[in-house]
Amino acid sequence: MASVTLNKLSKSYGNTPVLHNIDLHIAHGELVVLVGPSGCGKSTLLRVLCGLEDISSGELRIDADVVNTLSPAERGIAMVFQSYALYPHMNVFKNMAFGLKIQGSSKEDIAQRVQAAAEVLHIDHLLDRLPRELSGGQRQRVAIGRAIVRKPRLFLFDEPLSNLDASLRAKTRIELSRLHRELAATMVYVTHDQVEAMTLGDKIVVLNEGHVQQAGTPLTLYQQPANRFVATFIGSPTINLLPARVLEASSGGVRLRLDDGSQVLALVDGSQLQTGESVEIGLRPEHCRVDASTAHSGSKDTSLHAEIALVEHLGESNLLYLKTDIGQKLIVRGDGNAAVRLGDSVIVRAGPESIYLFRADGTAAPRLRPGNMRSAHVH
Ligand code: ADP
């Protein structure tokens, strides 16, 4: 298996730039997920990696070799597409064997490789079936099997699960993780689904408009997003954002005033911030608590007066849609058992360690205790 390095890689279609100066290292055996909104350049990046598109500038290396001008066949990469593109008139065995046959592998070698891949994918009992006699999930495995038998240096997956229903998607995701471990394979996986990205990736690369916004572990992106874009893209429901003004800032924390006049203490490094600067604070729905008592808690927690506008019951928890006294909207994840009613006046509280802070240009102030979160609950 291989490592992949992109150095200042750019790609334009005619005069339209699509990928800008991408620097990225994918280690041997790593599963990297590229995630971002539709049109951000994910598929283009995959197509550039496998050689279906030219590189406009910069360098692409697989291990130590510069592969900018190598053809797809010479790169030793296998790509699994969202449309499985199986040959309808060939059975599973022949579909999986086809690429090897073209390469001129021996019959024994083909049979041995197809059998081994089919066993890994638990489809060895389906080798005689035609694609139309398979479920969506089974077809997806055949498509992956076709990639595995070629023993590629690198696997590329382009939204491979998007044609599957939700429960099969979750199951196949677990299968892919297992496969990644068993094959010790280097994999690059594209999705627009942040949940898929969070659960699959060793490393996630968030793209927006052809720029890498941040690359890191799922937990790093969640706890220490580099900017507002990453903070809003990762996490569901989306992080709440409220405008605020800096009252006092130091490397040990920041005191802010919100538009409703209340004060907030944020445990973020404010050494770059100016007094009076306009910023936004971020509150994740799962880090807020809703308190029916309007009494002052006496702590350093943020306290926002709000009214419950809508409750969505999810079973194990509920989502509370709130409107603050000055009309700002907030979402809070609450305890599913709590008796909360529409129209209740409540206080939304959040601890200083849970607050995110974004400057006007979108960059985040580093959080000082990102992993030290009190769990959310409803009183
Ligand atoms: P994603 O996979 O993230 O949805 P794509 O990589 O498919 O995004 O597309 C990125 C951008 O490049 C889009 O704005 C798209 O319109 C543009 N694009 C993609 N393919 C071509 C092409 N062959 N010619 C011109 N523009 C293209």
Instruction: Kindly state whether residues 219 and 248 are assigned to the same domain.
Output: no
Instruction: Kindly state whether residues 62 and 191 are assigned to the same domain.
Output: yes
Separation of CA 277 and ligand 1 centre (Å):
37
Q: How many domains does the chain have?
A: 2
In short, whether 40's Cβ falls inside 6 Å of ligand 1 is: yes
Helix orientation angle between 136-148 and 166-183, rounded to the nearest 10 degrees: 20
Instruction: Kindly state whether residues 268 and 220 are assigned to the same domain.
Output: no
Instruction: List the 57-62 sheet strands across, edge first.
Output: 16-26, 4-13, 57-62, 65-66
In short, whether 172's Cβ falls inside 6 Å of ligand 1 is: no
CB-based contact 214:221 (threshold 8 Å): yes
Closest CA to 22 of 59, 51, 65: 59
- Whether residue 136 is contained in a domain is answered as yes
pLDDT in the model for residue 240: 98
Closest residue by CA, ligand 1 atom 26: 13
Instruction: Kindly state whether residues 101 and 227 are assigned to the same domain.
Output: yes
CA atoms within 13 A on the CB side of 73: 4
pLDDT in the model for residue 377: 41
- Whether residue 379 is contained in a domain is answered as no
Question: Which runs of E-coded beta strand occur in the chain?
Answer: 4-13, 16-26, 31-35, 57-62, 65-66, 77-80, 154-158, 187-191, 203-208, 211-216, 240-250, 253-258, 263-266, 278-283, 289-291, 302-313, 317-324, 329-335, 345-350, 356-358
* Among 178, 202, 232, residue at a domain's last position: 232
- Whether residue 378 is contained in a domain is answered as no
pLDDT in the model for residue 375: 46
Instruction: Kindly state whether residues 19 and 137 are assigned to the same domain.
Output: yes
- Whether residue 350 is contained in a domain is answered as yes
Range of the domain at 332: 238-372
Closest CA to 295 of 243, 241, 349, 230: 349
H or E stretch covering 372 = none
CB-based contact 301:264 (threshold 8 Å): no
Separation of CA 13 and ligand 1 centre (Å):
8
- Whether residue 377 is contained in a domain is answered as no
- Whether residue 261 is contained in a domain is answered as yes
Separation of CA 210 and ligand 1 centre (Å):
10
- Most ligand 1 atoms within 8 A of CB, residue of 10, 13, 192, 194 to mutate: 13
CATH number of 339's domain: 2.40.50.140
Q: What's the predicted TM-score (pTM) here?
A: 0.89
Q: Which atom of ligand 1 lies nearest, measured to the CA of 14?
A: 25
- CA distances in angstroms from 7 to 26, 53, 58, 147, 296, listed in the order given: 12, 16, 6, 27, 54
In short, whether 18's Cβ falls inside 6 Å of ligand 1 is: yes
In order along its 379 residues, the chain shows pLDDT tens digits of 799 999 999 999 999 999 999 999 999 999 999 999 999 999 999 999 999 999 999 999 999 999 999 988 889 898 887 777 899 999 999 999 998 998 899 999 999 999 999 988 889 999 999 999 998 888 988 998 998 898 888 999 998 887 777 877 888 888 888 888 888 889 999 998 888 899 888 899 999 999 999 999 999 999 999 999 999 999 999 999 999 999 999 999 999 999 999 999 999 999 999 999 999 999 999 999 998 776 666 678 888 999 999 999 888 889 999 999 999 999 999 887 667 888 999 999 999 999 999 999 999 999 998 887 654 443 3
- Please tell me the distance from the alpha carbon of residue 314 to that of residue 321, in angstroms, as a whole number: 13
Closest residue by CA, ligand 1 atom 21: 13
Instruction: Kindly state whether residues 74 and 212 are assigned to the same domain.
Output: yes
Instruction: Kindly state whether residues 179 and 215 are assigned to the same domain.
Output: yes
Instruction: Kindly state whether residues 191 and 244 are assigned to the same domain.
Output: no
Instruction: Kindly state whether residues 11 and 118 are assigned to the same domain.
Output: yes
- Whether residue 216 is contained in a domain is answered as yes
Closest residue by CA, ligand 1 atom 16: 39
* Among 189, 211, 232, residue at a domain's last position: 232
In short, whether 13's Cβ falls inside 6 Å of ligand 1 is: yes
- Whether residue 164 is contained in a domain is answered as yes
Kind of pairing between the strands at 57-62 and 65-66: antiparallel
* Among 212, 232, 252, residue at a domain's last position: 232
CATH number of 141's domain: 3.40.50.300
In short, whether 337's Cβ falls inside 6 Å of ligand 1 is: no
Instruction: Kindly state whether residues 193 and 306 are assigned to the same domain.
Output: no
- Most ligand 1 atoms within 8 A of CB, residue of 19, 35, 44 to mutate: 44
Instruction: Kindly state whether residues 201 and 292 are assigned to the same domain.
Output: no
pLDDT in the model for residue 137: 84
Instruction: Kindly state whether residues 11 and 123 are assigned to the same domain.
Output: yes
Residue with tokens 């959040």: 350
Separation of CA 42 and ligand 1 centre (Å):
8
pLDDT in the model for residue 67: 94
